């Protein structure tokens, strides 16, 4: 919402300067986004008379000027503008003046051997436009030595208020003035709203089609005959231009002015182009209308149009029609002033993609009592500027009842707002804002017609607090729930935090990436279906909810590789999406290692492999659970992993994690060199700890010597390490504390199709020292158990 200072001061009688007004506006909730005060900004630039402009003796394209800036002495200036000429009035910058476009102070210079003691300025140099072809030529009557801003008509500061959508009442200069006056900054001038008597019965009537009353409750209008259209007064043109509107003609400018000044959208029809009465009705599906600015819109049956016997003539409350628009030739004008339902207007505007000043106001709610007064104001202006004879006002329908009463305990200001405001002040504030207040222990408050946004007690608190001073609310401590703060994280939140820090401690860099990825990538990871599509993606490659975190990480890896970082460890904790339904998502910790291993003279690096990923996965799980992961890993994982170098960890039916090397085809699709090892741990699937109490079990180390025995088994290559170890441990669960693989060998000395697995078993006696025969018996049991379970043969 833009307006100029002088415009505001038309309805507001105040001596306040623009800074005071801006501060007050912001403090009462009408946030000032900017104040463009070109007069202040350009105060150092003056009007100068170019006494002479001759060719520069040493340059063809430069001119040597003699300039009078009002100081009395001619000043020598070298100027490159083609339009610099003798006798013109121009904008002059003296040495030392800061030039807006460069932000630098102007210096006395020597150009092609001649001194230049100032500059004649272009629009662009003053940041007033893009024109850099020549210098600004001021009107011949501009007064030499006076501020150039005055000659440019830029002395009126432009204030831009960022209006919140609830404040339809302030979508007008008058409404803003009304709020400022209520806030104590000046006195409101109401203007002359006396009706203009009609001189003849209107031949054009307004009508409401049956059923349209909800969307268009009131439709008023007036015919004025014998007008002479032409330009509107200069002051109005200046105001409109200052806020970014192009003045068109008096008849059109009246409607724009009243829309901006009073928040009362109007439309003017060239009555000669209408056939019969005007009627607000729903459009027919598929009905079309050529609107202002020459664009044709296809309408539907939920949109209200203003139509005559011929057809739709305007999109109600949104935009008028081209064919019935007023022109300079218009002699009879019909002014429409109506009331439309905000939701209906909003829907129509959005569907048609039309942003207009009328829509802006109707969808925020206009003053229902100002339909006819607005029409009277318009009549007065048309008569003043274009002459003519007014007909009688015609009205169809009526404003819906907006009157309501709110019971308001004045103590509620303190209860909700934390601000002690005397009751008398509360009453005074509300009355200044136009509310009717019936005094009593509980106030009966009725909002004025223009405050459709005020519905309840809380709204009244806001009104009182914002005018009394929001910054007067004292801060008040909140009570502590307990002396020492209690922990507040849920187990899963705590777990997520630990996992994040554990991965960083392992050397992973945490990243955060978008939840949407290219559909083509999503398809590679089991997603990319319609249910997980973003309907209106912001970019073609951000159109699918990610079914896995890995595509994000792999894409990141690719970007980093392109920057020369081909060895990396990245992880992210975030959501993966199982469908497009709310809640169908899982929190996952996923990570990748890419590359051949950092090059080092120590030769310790190695290409990223499945066992790196397995270690990472186990670290995540064990951090999350606070205990060792004992469940077995099964070979194989989803299709984006290497089929032979990947694994899955599940607890019963619940998959907890995948790990492995990324499938070479996926790497090729994503244009990655690799190798890449990856893991995905579904944090939501990890069961919560079942530990009871804080105390650990008692520490009872065995007093007897533990011993280790090594075995080498020949097994079929298909037999897994896990099977061998489990079999070994099963030989005596009480005595065998641990069994571990320490060598795997295939090749020379081992038959084809077999491998050698060397394991070490740690035996921990609990109640007596084992004798040699005891040990020998146990060793035999172990060999037998492994042989039975896996077909292994002890290597000798």
Partner 1 sequence: MSDIQTLEGEILGAVSAAADEAALEAIRVGALGKKGSISELLKTLGTMTPDQRKVSGPLINGLRDEVTLAIAARKAALGDAALNARLAQEKLDVTLPPRPEPQGTIHPVSQVLDEITAIFADLGFAIAEGPDVEYDDYNFTKLNIPPDHPARQMHDTFYVAKQADGSRHLLRTHTSPVQVRTMLSQKPPIRVIVPGRTYRFENDATHTPMFHQLEALVIDEKTHLGNLKWVVEEFCKAFFEIDNVTLRARPSFFPFTEPSVEWDMRCDRSVPGKIQFGTGNDWLELGGSGMVHPRVLEMCGIDPEKYQGFAFGFGLDRMAMLKYGAPDLRPFFDSDLRWLRHYGFAALDLPTLDGGLSR
Residues 386-425 that bind partner 1 (CB under 8 A): 414-419
Residues in the chain, how many? 796
Report in angstroms how near the CB of residue 402 gets to partner 1 at its nearest.
18
Of residues 723 through 782, those in contact with partner 1 by CB under 8 A are: none
**What is the rounded CA–CA span in Å between residue 224 and residue 198?**
9
Tell me how far CA of residue 66 lies from CA of 49, 75, 96, 120, 144, in angstroms. 9, 5, 19, 11, 14
Tell me the per-residue interface mask from 198 to 217 with partner 1, x by CB under 8 A, - otherwise. Answer: --------------------
Q: Residue 74: CA atoms inside 13 Å, Cβ hemisphere, count?
A: 9
Report in angstroms how near the CB of residue 574 gets to partner 1 at its nearest.
7
By the 8 A CB rule, do 153 and 57 touch? no
Nearer CB in complex with partner 1: 272/489: 489
Of residues 605 through 664, those in contact with partner 1 by CB under 8 A are: 605
Binding-site size for partner 1 (CB under 8 A) equals: 105
9 binds partner 1 (CB under 8 A): no
Q: Would you call 5 helix, strand, or coil by DSSP?
A: helix
Stretch that binds partner 1, among 94-102, 248-256, 308-316, 576-584 (CB under 8 A): 576-584
Report in angstroms how near the CB of residue 662 gets to partner 1 at its nearest.
17
DSSP 8-state secondary structure symbol assigned to residue 697: P
The binder of partner 1 chosen from 237, 331, 449, 533 (CB under 8 A): 533
Nearer CB in complex with partner 1: 474/652: 474
The binder of partner 1 chosen from 107, 563, 694, 748 (CB under 8 A): 563
By the 8 A CB rule, do 130 and 31 touch? no
Nearer CB in complex with partner 1: 563/748: 563
Q: Which residues contact 282 (CB under 8 A, 6 or more apart)?
A: 209, 211, 212, 215, 301, 302, 303, 304, 305
23 binds partner 1 (CB under 8 A): no
Nearer CB in complex with partner 1: 272/581: 581
By the 8 A CB rule, do 375 and 335 touch? yes
Stretch that binds partner 1, among 276-284, 531-539, 628-636, 751-759 (CB under 8 A): 531-539
568 binds partner 1 (CB under 8 A): yes
**What is the rounded CA–CA span in Å between residue 662 and residue 664?**
6
Nearer CB in complex with partner 1: 220/304: 304
Tokens of 292: 């202002």
By the 8 A CB rule, do 67 and 56 touch? no
160 binds partner 1 (CB under 8 A): no
Of residues 315 through 344, those in contact with partner 1 by CB under 8 A are: 342-343
Q: What are the start-end ranges of the H helices in 675-771?
A: 721-730
Report in angstroms how near the CB of residue 23 gets to partner 1 at its nearest.
11
**What is the rounded CA–CA span in Å between residue 373 and residue 387?**
19
532 binds partner 1 (CB under 8 A): yes
697 binds partner 1 (CB under 8 A): no
**What is the rounded CA–CA span in Å between residue 292 and residue 299?**
15
300 binds partner 1 (CB under 8 A): no
Tell me the per-residue interface mask from 434 to 463 with partner 1, x by CB under 8 A, - otherwise. Answer: ----------------------xxxx-xx-
Nearer CB in complex with partner 1: 489/635: 489
Nearer CB in complex with partner 1: 266/570: 570
Of residues 355 through 374, those in contact with partner 1 by CB under 8 A are: 363-364
Report in angstroms how near the CB of residue 442 gets to partner 1 at its nearest.
14
Question: Beta-strand (E) ranges in 670-769?
Answer: 676-682, 707-716, 736-745, 754-763
Residue 197 burial class via C-beta count within 10 angstroms: exposed 0-12, middle 13-18, buried 19 and up: exposed
Facing residues of 320 across strands?
A: 314
Stretch that binds partner 1, among 64-72, 323-331, 602-610, 782-790 (CB under 8 A): 602-610
Report in angstroms how near the CB of residue 462 gets to partner 1 at its nearest.
3
Report in angstroms how near the CB of residue 100 gets to partner 1 at its nearest.
18
Of residues 461 through 520, those in contact with partner 1 by CB under 8 A are: 461-462, 465-466, 470-471, 473-478, 480-482, 485-490, 493, 497, 500-516
By the 8 A CB rule, do 344 and 302 touch? yes
Nearer CB in complex with partner 1: 199/559: 559
DSSP 8-state secondary structure symbol assigned to residue 564: T
**What is the rounded CA–CA span in Å between residue 180 and residue 738?**
82
Q: Which residues contact 559 (CB under 8 A, 6 or more apart)?
A: none
Tokens of 705: 């010597």
Stretch that binds partner 1, among 117-125, 215-223, 244-252, 539-547 (CB under 8 A): 539-547
Report in angstroms how near the CB of residue 517 gets to partner 1 at its nearest.
11
* Rg over CA atoms, the chain: 41
């Amino acid at each position: 919402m833009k307006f100029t200072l002088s415009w505001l001061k038309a309805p507001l009688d105040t001596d306040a300067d623009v800074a005071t007004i801006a501060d007050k506006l912001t403090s009462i909730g009408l946030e000032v986004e900017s104040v463009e005060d070109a007069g202040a900004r350009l105060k150092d630039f003056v009007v100068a008379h170019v006494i002479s402009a001759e060719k520069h003796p040493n340059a063809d394209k430069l001119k040597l000027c003699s300039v009078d800036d009002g100081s009395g002495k001619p000043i020598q200036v070298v100027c490159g503008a083609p339009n610099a000429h003798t006798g013109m009035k121009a904008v002059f910058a003296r040495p030392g003046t800061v030039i807006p476009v460069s932000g630098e102070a102007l210096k006395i210079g020597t150009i092609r051997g001649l001194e230049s003691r100032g500059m004649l300025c272009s629009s662009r140099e003053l940041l007033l436009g893009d024109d850099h072809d020549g210098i600004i030529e001021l009107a011949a009557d501009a007064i030499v030595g006076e501020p150039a801003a005055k000659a440019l008509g830029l002395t009126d500061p432009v204030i831009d208020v960022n209006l919140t959508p609830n404040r339809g009442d302030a979508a007008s200069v008058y409404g803003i003035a009304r709020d400022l006056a209520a806030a104590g900054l000046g006195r409101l001038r109401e203007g002359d709203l006396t009706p203009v008597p009609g001189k003849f019965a209107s031949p054009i009537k307004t009508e409401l089609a049956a059923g349209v009353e909800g969307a268009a409750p009131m439709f008023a209008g007036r015919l004025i005959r014998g007008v002479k259209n032409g330009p509107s007064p200069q002051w109005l043109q200046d105001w409109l231009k200052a806020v970014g509107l192009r003045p068109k003609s008096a008849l059109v400018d009246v409607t724009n002015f009243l829309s901006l000044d009073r928040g009362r959208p109007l439309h003017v029809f060239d009555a000669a182009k209408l056939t019969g009465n005007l009627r607000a009705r729903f459009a027919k599906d598929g009905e079309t209308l050529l609107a202002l600015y020459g664009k044709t819109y296809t309408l539907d049956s939920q949109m209200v149009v203003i139509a005559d016997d011929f057809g739709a003539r305007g999109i109600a409350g949104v935009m008028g029609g081209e064919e019935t628009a007023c022109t300079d030739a218009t002699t009879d004008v019909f002014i429409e002033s109506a009331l439309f339902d905000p939701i209906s207007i909003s829907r129509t505007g959005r569907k048609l993609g039309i942003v207009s000043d009328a829509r802006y106001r109707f969808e925020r709610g206009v003053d229902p009592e100002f339909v006819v007064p607005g029409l009277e104001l318009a009549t007065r202006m048309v008569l003043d500027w274009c002459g003519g004879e007014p007909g009688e006002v015609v009205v169809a329908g009526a404003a819906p009842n907006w009157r309501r009463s709110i019971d308001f305990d004045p103590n509620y200001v303190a209860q909700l707002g934390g601000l002690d405001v005397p009751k008398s002040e509360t009453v005074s504030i509300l009355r200044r804002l136009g509310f009717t207040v019936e005094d009593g222990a509980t106030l009966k408050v009725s909002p004025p017609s223009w405050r459709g946004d005020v519905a309840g007690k809380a709204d009244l608190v806001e009104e009182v607090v914002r005018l009394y001073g929001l910054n007067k609310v004292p801060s008040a401590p909140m009570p502590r729930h307990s002396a020492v703060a209690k922990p507040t994280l849920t187990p899963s939140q705590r777990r997520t935090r630990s996992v994040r820090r554990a991965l960083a401690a392992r050397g992973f860099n945490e990243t955060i990436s978008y939840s949407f990825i290219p559909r083509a990538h999503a398809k590679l990871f089991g997603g990319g279906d319609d249910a997980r599509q973003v309907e209106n993606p912001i970019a073609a490659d951000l159109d699918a909810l990610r079914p896995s975190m890995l595509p994000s990480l792999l894409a990141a890896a690719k970007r980093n590789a392109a920057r020369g970082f081909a060895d990396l460890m990245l992880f992210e904790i975030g959501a993966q999406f199982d469908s497009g339904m709310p809640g169908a998502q899982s929190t996952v910790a996923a990570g990748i290692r890419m590359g051949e291993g950092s090059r080092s003279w120590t030769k310790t690096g190695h290409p990223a492999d499945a066992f790196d990923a397995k270690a990472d996965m186990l670290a995540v799980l064990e951090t999350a659970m606070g205990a060792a992961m004992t469940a077995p890993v099964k070979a194989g994982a989803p299709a984006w992993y290497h089929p032979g170098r990947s694994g899955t960890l599940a607890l019963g039916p619940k998959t907890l994690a995948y790990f492995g090397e990324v499938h070479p085809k996926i790497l090729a699709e994503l244009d990655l060199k690799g190798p890449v090892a990856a893991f995905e741990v579904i944090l939501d699937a990890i069961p919560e700890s079942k530990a009871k109490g804080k105390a650990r079990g008692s520490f009872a180390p065995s007093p007897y010597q533990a011993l280790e025995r090594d075995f080498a088994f020949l097994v079929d290559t298909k037999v897994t390490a896990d099977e061998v170890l489990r079999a070994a441990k099963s030989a005596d669960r009480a005595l065998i504390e641990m069994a571990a693989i320490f060598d795997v060998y295939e090749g020379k000395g081992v038959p084809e199709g077999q491998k050698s697995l060397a394991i070490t078993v740690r035996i921990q006696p609990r109640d007596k020292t084992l004798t040699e025969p005891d040990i020998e018996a146990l060793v035999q049991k172990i060999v037998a158990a492994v042989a039975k379970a896996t077909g292994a043969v002890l290597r000798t």
